[in-house]
Amino acid sequence: MKKIFLPLTALAVLAFASCTKVPKDGIHTLTLLTTNDVHGTWFDSTYVGHGTRRSLLAINTIIDSVRAADGKGNVVLVDAGDCLQGDNAPYYYNYVDTLSPHLFPRLMSYMGYDAIAVGNHDIETGHPVYDRIAKELKAKGIPFLAGNAIRTSDGKPYFPVYTMLKRAGLRVAVLGYTNANMKEWLQEEIWSGMTFESLIPLVQNDVDRVRAKEKPDVVIVAVHSGNGNGDGRMLEGEGLDLLNTLHGVDFLVCSHDHRPSLVSRDSILLINSGSHSRNVGFGKIEVTVKGGKVVDRKLSSRLIPVRREFSDSVMRKAFQSDYEAVKAFTLNPVGTLQEDFATREAFRGMCPYINFIHTLCLEASGADISFAAPLSYNKTIKAGTLVFNDLFTLYPFENQLFVLRMNGHEIKGYLEDSYDSWLAAPGGAHALLIQKRDDPRTGQANWSFIGRTYNFSSAAGINYTVDITKPRGERITILSMADGSEFGLDREYNVAMTSYRASGGGGMLYRGAGIEDPSERIVRKYPEIRNLIYDYLKKHGKISAESEKPSVLGEWKFIPEDMAAKAIDADMALVFGN
């Protein structure tokens, strides 16, 4: 949909009268602090035991120290989205305690955030949550920005586009945008009433209008978009595309891909602090004003590592009752686990963890076949009593369970594409597609997977082999259905998968199966998978190997078996250690 540009008076959130004044002659020094993809790491506790982690509490220590050193009136604090999903605390305030004032706006107000961009996982929480958050943030003077989320009814922005601030004696414009690829991941009912536009050329057009209207001295653009490759081909990662084309912008704050980075081009600096409260982005700009005009500007940036031991004890005390409420909820016993679950074993082949996810999806949906991938990268749940907290390890995202209609050719093509991102080309030094590099997305050091492991999708309900000696697109042989009956390439089947996958997430339905519009294939929809796990435990009381029926799950394996086992074991040792 073509965007209808409104007068900027209708788009601005805060336009102080003082912002129209000419800055005084001299050097004005402004500090920018950024966060992104915090994913609910609001508290420094792991809730179970006495474990600690990096969190907003430790980030606040950094913020306070920078404000003390540089002056509170000289600091701008911005978040680039994905705040409302990924951990116990947001889940509790999103879906359990919906009557109390939501914790997130209260945290943001306490920490003094100036603006927050909307992330795709923020939208994933659904209209009741993000509409409420936008309203409560606004009441605290904090805009929830997404200038490329456009109402389908009238072409106006659904969220504010920008805000004006007065800091360090300068007029500062902060513009915010969400991910343009939203519709490829989430079902329409979640983002109903909106469409999402590419950031190019929209951001530049908005910047030009803001500069013409507000005459800012400093412009900051925060986007919930990954860095990408800078070649204009990645809609979910337009950061480098923006960096290479934007004019009139000082700082570009990126996010989404969980990769900490600092990139510069001419007079623009890109800052991406990574994810999960690991770093705080730090930018500094010195603006020289002479004769009422800006005659020079100098920019610098760096990342400040967050140390968990420096959590703000005063802030912790201020939100202690909220923490106790979340902890009490997440420590409720929900059933028992009769064998250890190690999520990384899913990269090696069939394992109890993924077998359970498949069992759950097949039982809940009555589908013929299930697709599932390991969404927890390297976690272990010990046998014994399960508490609600463990369900976040079993299933960390708020995905629903969907059933799609697919034929045998499409199922095989889907699996070929999945294993192509999982396995290296034959004849090389490795069986798994890994390389020697640190992975900032997972915190993995030295060796890591090249592909995104949450897309390593396997199947249940069929018997099949994956030949590591065969070239891409020729690895999968489907032998039969799980019960031994014939699998037909021309026959249609009901296939269970996540709502993310059913919306095209990961690309296997497009690239592998050749399905252009997955929404046309949807047969049934079910509640969120974590809730289905909870219902499963209420019904069965336990998760055990006895529930994994070969006649339902089937079997898959890498072949040749001895060769594959040795090669994959060696690669797993490189990635995870012995």
* Mean pLDDT of all residues belonging to the chain: 93
Q: Are 339 and 302 within one domain?
A: no
Q: Measured between alpha carbons, how far is 103 from 92 in angstroms, rounded to an integer? A: 9
Does residue 3 sit within a domain? no
For the chain, first and last CA: distance in Å? 53
| pLDDT score, position 38 | 98
| C-alpha count within 13 angstroms, C-beta hemisphere, residue 420 | 15
Evaluated on CA atoms 475, 481, 486, 488, the torsion sign reads negative
Closest by Cα among 465, 475, 477, 482 to 561: 465
Task: Give the confidence band of 397 by pLDDT, cuts at 50, 70, 90.
Answer: confident
pLDDT at site 523: 96
Quick one: pLDDT band at residue 30, thresholds 50, 70, 90? very high
Same domain, 316 and 354: no
Per-residue tokens: 174:
């902060």
For residue 1, being part of any structural domain is answered with no
CATH number of the structural domain spanning residue 289: 3.60.21.10
**Are both 342 and 488 inside the same structural domain?**
yes
d(CA 392, CA 562): 35
By C-alpha distance, which of 360, 357, 329 is closest to 343? 357
Q: Which residue has the tokens 């500007």?
A: 297
What is d(CA 187, CA 182) in angstroms, rounded to the nearest whole number? 9
Phi/psi at 371 (5° precision): -110, 135
Among 326, 341, 376, the domain boundary falls at 326
Residue pair 418/401 in contact (Cβ under 8 Å)? The answer is no
Q: Are residues 344 and 262 in the same domain?
A: no
- Are residue 313 and residue 412 in the same domain, yes or no? no
Q: Which helix (H) or strand (E) holds 211?
A: helix 199-214
pLDDT value of residue 17: 39
3-state per-residue secondary structure call for 115-140: EEECCHHHHHCCHHHHHHHHHHHHHC
Inside any domain, residue 563: yes
Question: Residues 349, 321: one domain?
Answer: no
Range in 6-15, 282-291, 555-564 with the lowest mean pLDDT: 6-15
pLDDT tens readout for residues 273-331 = 999 999 999 999 999 999 988 999 999 999 999 999 999 999 999 999 999 999 999 99
Give the 3-state secondary structure of residue 175: strand
Query: For the residues of 476-522, what is the DSSP string, one character each?
Result: EEEEEETTSPPP-TTSEEEEEEEHHHHTTTTSIIIIIT--S-GGGGE
Note whether 352 and 467 are same-domain residues: yes
Cβ count within 10 A of residue 345: 19
Lookup result for tokens 């923006």: 242
415 falls within a domain: yes
- Per-residue pLDDT, 8: 45
Q: Are strands 194-196 and 251-253 parallel, antiparallel or unpaired?
A: unpaired
Domain boundary among 301, 326, 351: 326
Q: How many CA atoms lie within 13 A of 97 on its CB side?
A: 18
Q: Are 91 and 43 in contact (CB under 8 A)?
A: no
Q: For residue 7, is pLDDT > 80? A: no
Q: Let me know if residue 178 belongs to a domain.
A: yes
Residues 279 and 377 in one domain: no
Residues 6+ away with beta carbon under 8 Å from 241: 199, 200, 228, 230, 231, 232, 234
270-279 pLDDT, tens digit per residue, is 999 999 999 9
425: number of Cβ within 10 Å: 11
Name 481's bridge partners.
462
Of 291, 326, 361, the domain-final residue: 326
Q: How confident is the model at residue 1 (pLDDT cuts 50, 70, 90)?
A: very low
The one-letter amino acid at 187: Q
User: What CATH number is attached to the domain comprising 539?
Assistant: 3.90.780.10
- Is 2 part of a structural domain of the chain? no
d(CA 466, CA 565) in angstroms, rounded, equals: 12
Q: Is residue 39 part of a domain?
A: yes
| pLDDT value, residue 444 | 65
Domain limits for position 199: 8-326
Q: What is the pLDDT of residues 407-445, one digit of tens each?
A: 999 999 999 999 999 999 999 999 999 999 877 666 667
DSSP, res 102:
P
The pLDDT > 90 percentage for the chain reads 88
Q: Give the mean pLDDT of 461-478.
A: 97
365 and 321 together in one domain = no
The pLDDT tens digits for 330-386 are 999 999 999 999 999 999 999 999 999 999 999 999 999 999 999 999 999 999 999
User: What is the domain count for the chain?
Assistant: 2
- Dump pLDDT digits (tens) for 179-192: 999 988 888 889 99
pLDDT at 490: 97
Long-range contacts of 207-211 (CB under 8 A, 24+ apart): 207/175, 207/246, 207/247, 207/248, 207/249, 208/248, 209/5, 209/8, 210/8, 210/162, 210/173, 210/175, 211/173, 211/248
Task: Compute CA distances 193 → 160, 190, 203, 308, 369, whole Å.
Answer: 15, 9, 21, 41, 33
Q: Are 148 and 180 contacting, i.e. CB atoms less than 8 angstroms apart?
A: yes
In this structure, of 3-12, 206-215, 323-332, 557-566, the range with the lowest mean pLDDT score is 3-12
Q: Are residues 216 and 340 in the same domain?
A: no
Strands lying side by side in the sheet with 333-337: 384-387, 333-337, 542-543
Tell whether the model's pLDDT for residue 10 goes beyond 90.
no
Based on the domain organization, do 184 and 309 belong to the same domain?
yes
DSSP string, 334-392: EEEESS-EEGGGGGTS--HHHHHHHHHHHHHH--SEEEE---SSS-EE-SEEEEHHHHH
pLDDT for residue 268? 97
For residue 45, the number of C-alpha atoms closer than 13 Å in the C-beta half-sphere is 19
* Together in a domain, 321 and 349: no
6 has a pLDDT exceeding 50: no
Task: Please report the pLDDT score of residue 22 as a whole number.
Answer: 80
Which residues face 404 on adjacent strands? Answer: 495, 522
Confidence of residue 571 (pLDDT cuts 50, 70, 90): very high
